[in-house]
Structure 1
């Protein structure tokens, strides 16, 4: 069908159809060709003229229409030009819009993203608002733990620390949770320091001590041996601070308070240690005072070393205060013996370590007293004169064998000493020193005391001899006789009297029991016997006749029963 149309068009338009006429594919052309096919020959011959007339008619009508409506056409043309210009502007703006569309699209995407984040934040804020109470509980955990520590509610603080630790283990990647965990860890260390400080600064009873160490165990900050060491260090600091707070002005008061403070606090610490670490009870029942003793447990070794050091510190303090001088040695000795005896319940009886210290202190005190007596005698002898000296008291007998037993048993000083002031001062000095010793006289000092008095009496004899050599040329017969009486009083009254006093303080029976020897052996070895011959050797040529008999060491009878019982009790103490 199309081929026929093409053939017809070639017949109608032998030169070909122009593309600008747009006749190909036009439905009206096809309808006209269909109508043209129905014409007869006459009609076909007239069709060209008809078409020309119709075209001419149309042209005329068009011209008439244009002439009659020229204004409209002009307006239409202007409008068309204006519309064209507007279309150009619109095209330019569209091109500009197309250029800006990528940037706008990017900003839109950014806006969509930001709006999405805002929506997400809004959603989180809504959830946060709904969970506000629960979040506040978590955020206030550090403040709550700080308050618990400040109010000493350590049980709740430990529970909070455990909860935060679990929270950090599961949610530690969240910054807020991480900060809370760090804050609670810092407070945990603060609580640890506070617990240790309570062991250092306060006087703890056993229940409180058990509670604090229980908290430290639950915190797991120290191992077993480290906890033992920390406990001993803390309580040692407390004990040291208590001892330093004692006034050291008065040696007697300082030593008495030191004994009481050390005994109470040290016993409490030992009791607390054994209650806190019961696994050490079996191995530490007998506390060794020797730090080199082999032990199997480090904790036991630590405790024994600490206890040994504390006892050693006390012994040093005891020795220093005794050297400074105390007014009542017997009181201090009784307290110290009770101190050492009380520690026998924990296997730390250290009375044997204190005995040498007291013996040494008593000996030093006695020697100082005798030195002072010697100095006083020398000063009095320098001022002594025999001019117009009248003796009011005379010796009944020169022979000691004729002296009655009652006179020998008497512990009163001889009355003849009143005639010679230096000898009276010397006797009073000896008696004061011996009376101080009598209150606390260890049997171990028997030899030292005897030796000290022996040397003192020898010195007195030498000083008397010096006095004689200086004054003999000016002696009158009366003065020479008085000087002989002075020598006799010293040799036959004072020296035997001092011998009796020594045996009153150190009864021979007690020494024989302690030494396991007889009275005869005790006398032969001269343990508590003065050597009269050596003492009187410088004055031998000045003494009355029968001096050979007098120089023999006469055995001294036993003292009175009542007086002996009193001195024996003091000596045994």
Structure 2
């Protein structure tokens, strides 16, 4: 028994570690679901059940039934006593379940759709509000810098107002302030703000207006030195013509091959001062043209018609005097203004003084002094070139064609005016008196030549061979109509003129040249009205030449007198005499034949007229020009005048000698008969 008791004791105190077999047994023998048996409470009860003994196990159903009845009654009584609470709890439980279900679905919707959408909206909100925030930040900065921005925006308006009212100093100060702002902005290694760029653009436009206003001042004719000096000073301050300025490009008319020559001539670069000087000269040149243009038009209009009468010549001389005065005043003003503005401060003396002062202070190097001196030389070369151009482009082209159209009496006053003008310009280095000598010499020579030609043409026209016939046919020959020589070749107060008995040989001419003064014509010329008129006309021309007689044109005038006047007049006269004497019968106005004595008398008058012309008038006129006007001793030969006049004189001498021999033979034949 003891052996059997030991296991019993051990069995009563033992607990199954695994109650799964028991669970399976109970599940198979009862209708209790397996899930109910697998609950923790059921497993714990089954585990405790294995510790019971047999007696306890047998009593256990009754105990369980009693506890079941007790619980049932307790529940029944509880139900009867607390049913409202259970109903309320049921309702509350149902409501809580529905609420929990709704909460669960809402939480699920929140987690699955609302929260991702919210997250997406939050991410997009930053992107959408970034621009607005940036604009609001800019607006906040603008509000904080409102005063500075307003001042900046007012700068272009203030500059424009200053430019319009002539306050150029204030305008340049505002420009410097704007440039300083732009410089500060550029130091941050960032592009300048759009507002600053716009302001700088407007300032540039205003500065361009200021530049145009200053340049316009240089083109205004009535501007004097103070206004021009002020304009140039502001152009210097603006530095718009500097090497770094966009307003100073390379000369556009130069080709690529010529740019090297241009740089070699002017150096590495044209300085700002030289460009301002060029702008000054161009502007004043335009003013000078506008002043001279009306008077120049009047002169050109009168000179285009060629030959002028005396009144037109006086009008032309008056216009030339006015033109010379305007040119003198305009050019002299330009030269003096340029010298005052550009050359006085940079003159060699001023540069030497500044250089010595700067060297003593250790400021200026020798290279800088040399550069300043070269710039002064260039500026001086500019005004020298302009002065020469003003002379050759405005004065000489007007005088050259005009002086030769005037009468000789109008030229001395013009020469005196131009001489005083040249003397005044000599103070500024423009002495053109040497040009006046050549200019007026040519003009005087041309005027004397024209006057002599007119006198010659008038004289030659009186000795035209008549071509109209008398209407009578004598021996089959139609005779021309000749006017009696005694009616117009000799004076009516004398019966017959004193006819020389010897021809005008060189010896006799030399003898005549030494007799009488060269400015008083021989009395014998008064017996021949055509010769007297011709002599007086030539002497009138020479008397006008006395007022202005350049010595260098004496050979020219001598050739004109000999070849173009005396020679051609002699040729016409010689041809007339030969044609007259070649006609065997004279045709009078009444068409009645003259007898032999009358014919011989008329031929003698013609021959005497020719002899007086060649033997008296020709030598006297040559003496009147050379000795009477210039006071130079005249040789009896004709070497200075060329071969034309000597040939005509020799032909006349030969003809006269032949005629004299024929007359002598005729007289001897008549005496023998």
Q: Establish whether TM, by shorter chain, passes 0.5.
A: yes
- Pairing partner for 1:445 from 541, 550, 553: 553
Are 2:207 and 1:98 equivalent residues in the alignment?
Answer: no
- Pairing partner for 2:531 from 401, 420, 423: 423
Contact 1:263 1:339 survives alignment (8 Å)? yes
The aligned residue for residue 327 of structure 2 is: 262
Query: Superposed, which structure 2 residues align to 1:122-521 within 5 Å?
Result: 123-127=140-144, 131-132=146-147, 134-171=148-185, 173-222=192-241, 223=271, 224-245=273-294, 246-247=296-297, 248-251=300-303, 252=316, 253-275=318-340, 276-278=342-344, 281-282=347-348, 297-314=377-394, 316-318=396-398, 320-322=400-402, 325-327=405-407, 328-382=410-464, 385-386=483-484, 389=487, 391-393=491-493, 408-409=516-517, 417=525, 420-455=528-563, 456-472=565-581, 473=583, 474=585, 476-491=599-614, 493-495=616-618, 497-499=620-622, 501-502=624-625, 506-508=629-631
The aligned residue for residue 4 of structure 1 is: none
In the alignment, structure 2 segments of 5+ residues that lack a partner are 1-13, 21-36, 45-62, 187-191, 242-270, 304-315, 351-373, 467-481, 502-507, 587-598, 661-673
The aligned residue for residue 540 of structure 1 is: 653
Partner SS, residue 184 of structure 2? helix
How far the C-alpha of 1:469 sits from its partner, in A, is 1.0
Partner SS, residue 326 of structure 1? coil
The aligned residue for residue 550 of structure 1 is: none
Deviations 1:262-282 (A, max 9, x none): 221221122122212225645
The aligned residue for residue 559 of structure 1 is: none
**Aligned pair in 2 of structure 1 residues 352, 295: CA closer, same or farther (>3 Å)?**
farther
Contact 2:441 2:552 survives alignment (8 Å)? yes
Partner SS, residue 427 of structure 2? helix
Partner SS, residue 549 of structure 2? coil
Normalising by structure 2, report the TM-score: 0.62
Normalising by structure 1, report the TM-score: 0.71
- Worse-superposed segment, 424-433 or 256-265: 424-433
How far the C-alpha of 1:99 sits from its partner, in A, is 2.8
Partner Cα separation in structure 1 for residue 415 and residue 566 of structure 2: 30
How far the C-alpha of 1:487 sits from its partner, in A, is 2.6
**Aligned pair in 2 of structure 1 residues 114, 485: CA closer, same or farther (>3 Å)?**
closer
Contact 2:403 2:440 survives alignment (8 Å)? no
**Aligned pair in 2 of structure 1 residues 504, 322: CA closer, same or farther (>3 Å)?**
farther
Partner SS, residue 406 of structure 2? coil
Partner SS, residue 483 of structure 2? coil
Deviations 1:434-467 (A, max 9, x none): 2332332112222322332222223222222211
Contact 1:145 1:157 survives alignment (8 Å)? yes
Contact 1:283 1:300 survives alignment (8 Å)? no
How far the C-alpha of 1:163 sits from its partner, in A, is 1.8
Partner SS, residue 140 of structure 1? helix
Deviations 1:196-240 (A, max 9, x none): 232234343222221111111111223233333333333333333
Partner Cα separation in structure 1 for residue 347 and residue 136 of structure 2: 69
